[in-house]
Amino acid sequence: MAATCPNKAENLKFCTCTYDCDKRGVCCECVAYHRAKGQIPGCFFSVAGEATWDRSVENLCKDCRA
């Protein structure tokens, strides 16, 4: 469960991730979660890339080349 974040409301204004989880808006926990899994958070992707929900480094590279 995500910790209370004083910046959560402001972070949510800019969060582009469409996956509904308890880490949305708590960027430090989101980054730590994905990093531990060898993944990239959704906010690093384009709209189309994020919509695949494939958070792999390989998918980010493909997305950046598109």
Instruction: List pLDDT tens digits, range 6-44.
Output: 999 999 999 999 988 899 999 999 999 999 999 999 999
The residues pairing with 39 across neighbouring beta strands, listed in sequence order, are 56
Quote helix, strand, coil % in the chain, to nearest 5: 50, 5, 45
Backbone torsions φ then ψ of 58, nearest 5 degrees: -60, -40
State pTM to two decimals: 0.82
pLDDT score recorded for residue 66: 80
